[in-house]
Amino acid sequence: MSNPPLPEEMNVYQNAEARFEVAAQKIGLEQGLYRYLKYPSKEITLYIPVGLDNGQLEVFTGYRVLHSSVRGPGKGGIRYAPDVSLDEVRALATWMTWKCAVVNIPFGGAKGGIICNPQKMSKGELERMTRRYTAELANWLGPEKDVPAPDVGTNEQTMAWVMDTYSMHTGQATTAVVTGKPIELGGSRGRKEATGRGVMMCCDKALAKTGIKRDGCRVIVQGFGNVGSMAAMLMHEAGYKIVGLSDIAGGLYNEKGFDVPKVIDWVYTQKKSLQEFPAGGTKLSSRDVLFQPCEIVIPAAIENQITEKNASQVQAKILCEGANGPTTWQADSIIDKKGIFTVPDILGNAGGVTVSYFEWVQDRQGFFWRESEVNERLHDFMDHAFDEVVRYAELHGVNNRIAAYMLAIDRVASALRLRGIYA
Ligand code: NAD
């Protein structure tokens, strides 16, 4: 295998590749399979015309990348953000392949995105953009081909539009084309909380591994969207002490701990700024909150937050990644040297895709499960995946991140060997 140049620290695709290279070498992956798995299977760029409310016509750039369908249909979210790029979507699609393999669900990896600022667009503009994007991709998507889900900047409503547009094109109601839908349209109970719940399950397991007690254990969460707010709420209810919170506008640190349901009400019902939460403690930047005293730190916002420059400032004993790619490749060794127990993104946030899998199963069987059944099954998948990753780490003498990649690559490669290469 060739020795590639060191990745640029802020290029998420190069970061994903660097970990893949190390893990592929460790498992002795054959040269041919290495090449096959290194590159995505398909990439599409779309130029999406949208009539704006002011009468003007705007053209947005969007992407869909299918990294792998070796173990099943592509699976992965759609992101709406100003800094979406093909490299980012590629990295996220690749991570989805590994993530689905880590939790052992029958999906490959995919991801999509549109360069836009959803905060500055009306509901009508977002709907038209989503429908045109879906219509252009109608031949690529499908319950057996590629199944999108929400990601940063998209939500249940976006998924309802994707499902409706696809269904209009195929002439039949196809709920299983997308997950993360509203419950009324074939969504799963427990999906909204699933990623945050999976984060908590990993933290529970990491505590048991490191011998730290749960009651009063101090937790910092960066990002107060779907993943961050749900993780904070569920962990607060379970007895953890949430001492740090942040969103894009800034963060708060308070040793006394936050009453998280009240913060959720403040931000989501009263529509007020997180940083202005009454008696919220010390105001910090969104990123600085990660470096305050705590036992567990959960980056649950965006990529490239813990870097070579700041990793030495992390004070936590456990790093549990809710976001995709929050820690750069260069920061990994600094985190390792500090003895921080890491739950890597492809395990830490895999609760979301696991319940997306349950949603897809329920849509296809046309029979819906109780929330307790969803949570119980999620627990089984996360518990097993966590144990497998830690077992790989101990067996091969590598950190948990490389262990998770090794486990995933092993599973995808063995499926590929069985399928063979279609000439
Ligand atoms: P979201 O859009 O609901 O929330 C994102 C949060 O991050 C918001 O609070 C936002 O203010 C904050 N944020 C954005 N930019 C920031 C910045 N520069 N600094 C600090 N905070 C910032 O998104 P989400 O669905 O919660 O996803 C968060 C992360 O988790 C992403 O990396 C996503 O890929 C990953 N993820 C999400 C899911 C899911 O089920 N939603 C599943 C797996 C992984």
* Average pLDDT, integer, range 377-388: 98
Ligand 1 binding site (Cβ under 6 Å of any ligand atom): 150-153, 195, 222-228, 246-248, 286, 300-302, 322-324, 349, 352
Q: Which ligand 1 atom is nearest residue 180's CA?
A: 40
* Average pLDDT, integer, range 87-112: 97
Nearest protein Cα to ligand 1, atom 17: 248
Please check the confidence at residue 8 and state whether its pLDDT lies above 90: no
| CA 422–ligand 1 middle distance (angstroms) | 38
Nearest protein Cα to ligand 1, atom 43: 349
What band does 7 get if pLDDT is binned at 50, 70 and 90? confident
The reported pLDDT for the residue numbered 410 is: 97
| CA 314–ligand 1 middle distance (angstroms) | 20
| Residue range 273-282, pLDDT digits in tens | 999 999 999 9
Pocket test for ligand 1, best of 229, 233, 247 (most atoms within 8 A of CB): 247
Q: Which ligand 1 atom is nearest residue 99's CA?
A: 43
Q: What is the CA radius of gyration of the chain?
A: 21
Q: Which ligand 1 atom is nearest residue 92's CA?
A: 34
Nearest protein Cα to ligand 1, atom 23: 152
| CA 222–ligand 1 middle distance (angstroms) | 9
Nearest protein Cα to ligand 1, atom 13: 248
| Residue range 338-348, pLDDT digits in tens | 999 999 999 99
Please check the confidence at residue 133 and state whether its pLDDT lies above 70: yes
| CA 50–ligand 1 middle distance (angstroms) | 25
Q: Which ligand 1 atom is nearest residue 286's CA?
A: 20
Nearest protein Cα to ligand 1, atom 30: 323
Q: Output the pTM of the full model.
A: 0.96
Pocket test for ligand 1, best of 89, 116, 193, 227 (most atoms within 8 A of CB): 227
Structure tokens belonging to residue 317:
């004993």
CB atoms within 10 A of CB 11: 19
Share of the chain above pLDDT 90, in %: 96
The reported pLDDT for the residue numbered 6 is: 64
Instruction: State which amino acid sits at residue 409.
Output: I
What band does 4 get if pLDDT is binned at 50, 70 and 90? low
CB atoms within 10 A of CB 20: 22
* Average pLDDT, integer, range 85-113: 97
Pocket test for ligand 1, best of 95, 188, 226, 320 (most atoms within 8 A of CB): 226
Report the chain's mean pLDDT, rounded to a whole number: 96
| Residue range 24-64, pLDDT digits in tens | 999 999 999 999 999 999 999 999 999 999 999 999 999 99
Q: Which ligand 1 atom is nearest residue 151's CA?
A: 25
Nearest protein Cα to ligand 1, atom 29: 323
Assess whether 99 carries a catalytic annotation: no
| Residue range 301-316, pLDDT digits in tens | 999 999 999 999 999 9
Please report, in angstroms and rounded to a whole number, the separation of the first and last CA atoms in the chain. Answer: 24
What band does 150 get if pLDDT is binned at 50, 70 and 90? very high
Look-up of token digits 């799963």: 188
Please check the confidence at residue 2 and state whether its pLDDT lies above 60: no
- As a whole number of angstroms, the distance between CA 84 and CA 70 comes to 26
The phi and psi torsions of 421 (rounded to 5 degrees) equal -105, 120
Burial 36-61 (b: 16+ CB within 10 A, else e): bbeebbeeeebebebeeeeeeeeebe
The reported pLDDT for the residue numbered 215 is: 86
Please check the confidence at residue 116 and state whether its pLDDT lies above 70: yes
The answer to whether the Cα torsion of 180, 184, 186, 190 is positive or negative is positive
Nearest protein Cα to ligand 1, atom 5: 225
Please check the confidence at residue 1 and state whether its pLDDT lies above 90: no
Catalytic residue among 111, 192, 241, 317: 111
| CA 226–ligand 1 middle distance (angstroms) | 7
| CA 421–ligand 1 middle distance (angstroms) | 37
Nearest protein Cα to ligand 1, atom 34: 324
- As a whole number of angstroms, the distance between CA 21 and CA 27 comes to 10
The phi and psi torsions of 70 (rounded to 5 degrees) equal -65, -45
| CA 230–ligand 1 middle distance (angstroms) | 11
Share of the chain above pLDDT 70, in %: 99
| CA 265–ligand 1 middle distance (angstroms) | 18
Please check the confidence at residue 185 and state whether its pLDDT lies above 60: yes
The reported pLDDT for the residue numbered 222 is: 98
DSSP count for the chain of H helices, then E strands? 13, 12
